Every structure is written in structure tokens, then in C-alpha cells.
Structure 1
Amino acid sequence: MPTADEILLLAEHFSLYFTIVIFVTGTVGNLLNLGVLTTLKLFRCNQCAFYLIIGSIVDTCQLSIIFIISILPFIYGFSPDNIFIVWCKLKYILPQLFRLLSTSIVCFAAFDQFLFTNPQYSMRRISSIQLARRLTLTAICIWIIHCIPYAIFYQIIPLNGCIITNTNLIHYYSYFYYPILHGLFPILTSCLFSLLAYRNVRHLVRRQLAVVRRRLDRQLTAMVFLRVIFFVLLLTPYTIYRIYSLNDLVSRLDPGPYAVDQLIYSIMASLINLNYSISFYIFLLSSSRYRRQVKLFYSKTSCRFFKLICNTNQNEISPSD
């Protein structure tokens, strides 16, 4: 039977290697998303594409923060959040901020597709790039304010490390933040609007729409719909675990239970972190049209790169006398 030290080592290595994999694959995927969605004319001034662009940026920031948090203990040989109070606070403030932003963007995208594909003109008018920008800016401001209590009440406790010290805040995260704000509300919201958008798209053929517009609506709805499915599947286990862990703190003085708790946390955190690395691959899976668009972007980028290299080499060659 493995000892507590062996379980802790397993949890640390699992978290590190998994984080490296999703950081590399996720960053590459998010950058490709940004390239396709920002360069192709089809997606310009499209509010759903705007949400997907912002989502890719937020997910890239989140992956970078997660990678830094995971790699620092192996570089220095200890966990900085149990020693440095600033890092203790930042370790929880920044991931929470980008997690909430990423969750909001998924919900906004589903809501926008519901509006944009709605058969009623009055509903379609609500969907606009201006609304997308305002909702995104509002979400950024709200979640920054929401993270302020983290900066105040996260403290370093010798026996438990970096934890929340305010009882009321623990109750808030236990009974509202994780079950409602982080769990039930975004899950239900994203599911509801993505299902309604999917229903709307199935009736697009009855409306007098240009073929290009109809294909774009179907493509974006399929991409958002599948993104929501994976979002819900990966978010639910972590939400359940966090509710339990906040109400049943395990002390470092109990090596066995503490090691098992750390291993479970590593697995649950890895699942939710997948949310920030798989958007590009979900979009490829959901839409054959997006796969062709990625190939088009890749071929254009490659041609420009080779032309740049050739022009640089020609400029470096001086004419012979």
C-alpha cells in the first residue's frame, strides 16, 4: 500500500506533467483560434466570433498562470504560496478571475447564438457587436471586484498552508459561489441557451436567408453547442469537490487523508483546466467547415512566411562587382 509521501509525490507529478501537456496543446490551439477568427473576413464584426476570440485570449492567460503556479514549486523546491503572502493571494485571485471570465464568455456565446438565430426580428436586433463588448467589459469589472475578498482573507496558516480565514467567506463560497455562481447558474444558463439556439438553427431553412449567412449560423451554433457540452462535463466534478473540501478541511497533521485529498484535488483541477485548452479541438470536431478554414489560414500563413524568408534572403545577397 502506498505511503502518504508516495501519494503526495504522485499528485505533484501528475499535476505537473498534465499541466505541461495542456499548456502546450492549449496555447497552440488558442493561438490558432485567434488566427482563424481574426483574419478570415467571414468572422469580422460577428459578435459570436468576438466572444470566441475573447475566450481564446482568456483561456491562454489562464493556462499561462496555471503553468507558472505548477512549475514554481519544482524550480524552487518548495511551494511559494505557503511562505510568501503575496503569492498566496495571487495564486487564488488570478485563476479565479480568469475562470469566471472564461465561464462568462461561454454563457455569453450561447446567449448570443440564441438571439442571433431567433425567428423573431426583435430578438435578433438585440444581438450586436456593441452588446458583446459591453457584456465583456461588464463581466471583467464585476469579477475583478468579486476577487477583492480573496486579497483580504486568504492567509498563511502554519498547519494548513494558504487558506481562507474568514468563516463568512467560507460559507459564501460553500453555499453560493461554488454551487450557484460557479456551478448551477452557468451550467443551466449555457445549456438552456445553446439548446434553444440549436432548435432555432434547425428552422433556419424556413427563413429567407442568404446561403452564406445560414451556413455561418449553423457552424457557430454547432461550435458553441459542443463547447457547452464539454464545459458542463468538465466543470461539474470540480464544483462538487470544492463544495466538499471547503466544508471538510484536511490538516497537514494527518498525512494519509491529506495526501489522498491532494491527489483528488489534482485530478479534479486537471479536469476543469482542460476547459481552457480544448476549444480549438472541439471546434475542429464540431465543424468540417472550420477544419477547412483552419487549413486555409495555415496555407496563407505558410505562404506569407516563406515569402518573407525568401525576400529576406534576397536582400542579404549583395550584387557581385
Structure 2
Amino acid sequence: ITNFFLAPILGAIFPLIILIVFGILTYRNLHLMTTINDQQQSIPTRLSMWERQITRMMIIQTVLNVSCTLPHCIFLIYTIATVQQRAMKSLNQIYIEYLLALLCAYIVSLDFASSFYIYFLSSSRFRKTTKMYLKRLLHLGNDQVTPFNISASTVPVTGTKTHNRQYRMVYLN
């Protein structure tokens, strides 16, 4: 019974309380930093934009965390409530409960996998940084096309200079 009592508290309620408390503290700290910065400067700075992005990310993360953890918590409470009737359950009911347990575990795992996508969708700075690193990783750059003529030939030629400083010749007809 101790296991059934502590599982919803340690697995669902306690992490949500910690997430909400630290989210509120982070928001207050960012808001205080922005307020002090705005008092020192009359022009709104990047800090207020950063505060909005962080606040948006925290709100989305908290709502998603609550949405993903709540089904698991409800299933744990249901399991605790029906533990006395475990021997009397039919095979179909056991299969349905097992399916619900797997579904709840899948929903909880979505919460852990979603952080990257939340940050990617809600922060333009994160998108720019990710785009820059992907370009660097895949060696994608902006190619510069510079037309030039070679006097020895009569065919016009266009050279393409890539980021590796190599030239590709394209003959124009």
C-alpha cells in the first residue's frame, strides 16, 4: 500500500509542483531583470524579447507536462482504488487496463521528447541557432555566383564560388 500511495505523489504531483514553483521563480527573476533594465534605459532591449520567449516556453512546457502527467496520475489512482478487486477481474478487463497503462506510459514519454520541439517552435533565437548549426554540420552555405569572361574562349562562362573556395564552371549557351 505504501508503494501505491507514494507512486502518484512522487511520480506525478511532486514533479509538477517543482516545475510550477521554479517556473514562477524564473518568471519573477526575468521580470525583475527586465524592470530594472527598463528603468535604466528608456529603449526596450533584447531582454524584454528574451523574457517573452522564455515565458512562452515555460507556459507551454508546464501545460504540456500537466497534460502528459495527468493521465498517468489518474491511472495510478484507479489502480490503487481497484487493487482489492484484482483477483476478480476478467481477462478482457486486465487487457484493457494493460493497454491503458501502456498508453499512459507513451503519453508520459511524449513529455520528455517534446522539450526540443517546444523550444524550437516558441523561440526564434533557438531556431536561428539550430539553423546555423545544421548549416555548419551539413556544409551548406550561400554560394556566390560571379560571372566572368575568359578571353581565350568565345563561350560565356559563369563561375560559382562555394564556401570551400572551389570554383565550378558553368558554360552558358
Normalised TM-score (structure 2) = 0.62
CA contact (8 A) 1:238 1:268 kept: yes
1:201-246: CA deviations, max 9, x gaps? 3443322389566655554454344222211110111012023214
- Partner residue in 1 for 2:79: 245
1:293 equivalent to 2:122? Answer no
- Partner residue in 2 for 1:230: 64
Aligned residues: CA RMSD: 3.0
Deviation at 1:295, TM superposition (A): 0.8
- Partner residue in 1 for 2:24: 195
Q: Residues of 1 paired with 2:116 and 2:14: CA distance?
A: 25
CA contact (8 A) 1:201 1:218 kept: no
Structure 2 unaligned spans of 5+ = 141-163, 165-173
Q: Residues of 2 paired with 1:285 and 1:199: CA distance?
A: 23
Q: Residues of 2 paired with 1:202 and 1:275: CA distance?
A: 27
Q: Residues of 2 paired with 1:262 and 1:202: CA distance?
A: 45
1:15-51: CA deviations, max 9, x gaps? xxxxxxxxxxxxxxxxxxxxxxxxxxxxxxxxxxxxx
The one of 92, 99, 112 aligned to 1:276 = 112
Shift of the 253–226 alpha-carbon distance from structure 1 to 2, 3 Å rule, reads closer
- Partner residue in 2 for 1:181: 10
Deviation at 1:253, TM superposition (A): 7.1
- Partner residue in 2 for 1:204: 33
CA contact (8 A) 1:198 1:225 kept: no
Q: Residues of 1 paired with 2:133 and 2:110: CA distance?
A: 25
CA contact (8 A) 1:194 1:224 kept: yes
Identical pairs, percent:
25
Q: Residues of 1 paired with 2:87 and 2:110: CA distance?
A: 28
After TM superposition, the runs of 4+ consecutive aligned structure 1 residues lying more than 6 A away are none
- Partner residue in 2 for 1:115: none
Q: Which has the higher contact order (CA 8 A, sep 6+)?
A: 1
Q: Which has the larger radius of gyration?
A: 2
Deviation at 1:199, TM superposition (A): 4.1
1:117-163: CA deviations, max 9, x gaps? xxxxxxxxxxxxxxxxxxxxxxxxxxxxxxxxxxxxxxxxxxxxxxx
Q: Residues of 1 paired with 2:106 and 2:130: CA distance?
A: 27
Q: Residues of 1 paired with 2:102 and 2:139: CA distance?
A: 42
Q: Residues of 2 paired with 1:196 and 1:253: CA distance?
A: 46
CA contact (8 A) 2:34 2:51 kept: no
Q: Residues of 2 paired with 1:295 and 1:252: CA distance?
A: 57
Shift of the 221–248 alpha-carbon distance from structure 1 to 2, 3 Å rule, reads same
Which of the pair is proportionally richer in strand?
2
Deviation at 1:251, TM superposition (A): 4.8
User: Residue 26 of structure 2 aligns to which amino acid in structure 1?
Assistant: A
User: Residue 242 of structure 1 aligns to which amino acid in structure 2?
Assistant: L
* Count of aligned pairs: 134
- Of 190-199 and 230-239, more deviation after overlay is shown by 190-199
CA contact (8 A) 2:34 2:47 kept: no
Normalised TM-score (structure 1) = 0.36
Deviation at 1:299, TM superposition (A): 0.9
